Amino acid sequence: MTVNIDYARYMTVMLELTDVSAGICCTPLVGEPLTAGEAEQLATTMKALADPTRLRLLSIVAASENTEACVCDLIEPLGLSQPTVSHHLKILTVAGFLTRSKRGTWAYFTLVPGALDRISQVLAAS
């Protein structure tokens, strides 16, 4: 009786793969996955961060004294017009990263404590 060595190796590998994949197929969850609503909210929040200008704005505000900056101080470092900077600040405010307060004719933006921690916690739990 002649045995094809390639066929024998193939069958051995296939049996090993079958044994390994049997255990992987039904791995139980060990934590709570995001709900549809949580995923939608997180996606909106992450979209706000998915822009280089907005990341720079957050960085500038976070590096400012008392984690607060006037919109007038954010225009020059970015090299953008005031309406464009205000647009980006509004997106960050709606997403919950900044708060806005008006003083005279200027708006001041403050980093929300723990806002960036929320993102890292969700990602670390995944």
- If one compares 80 and 24, the residue with the highest pLDDT of the two is 80
Query: What pLDDT score was predicted for residue 85?
Result: 95
Q: Is 20 exposed, middle or buried (0-12, 13-18, 19+ CB in 10 A)?
A: exposed
In CATH terms, 36-125 corresponds, of 3.40.50.920, 3.40.50.2000, 1.20.5.510, 1.10.10.10, to 1.10.10.10
Closest CA to 57 of 82, 22, 35: 82
At residue 82 the predicted structure's pLDDT band, cuts being 50, 70 and 90, is very high
Judge whether residue 103 has pLDDT over 60: yes
Judged by average pLDDT, the poorest of 7-16, 55-64, 69-78, 108-117 is 7-16
Name the residue among 76, 57, 64, 70 with its Cα closest to residue 104. 70
CA 124 to chain centre: 11
Summarised one tens digit per residue, pLDDT across range 5-17 is 666 677 676 666 6
What confidence tens digit (pLDDT) does each residue in 22-66 have?
Answer: 556 667 767 778 889 988 888 888 899 999 999 999 999 999 998
- Residue 70: closest CA among 53, 79, 82: 82
- What are the extents of the domains in the chain? 36-125
Percent of the chain scoring above 90 in pLDDT: 49
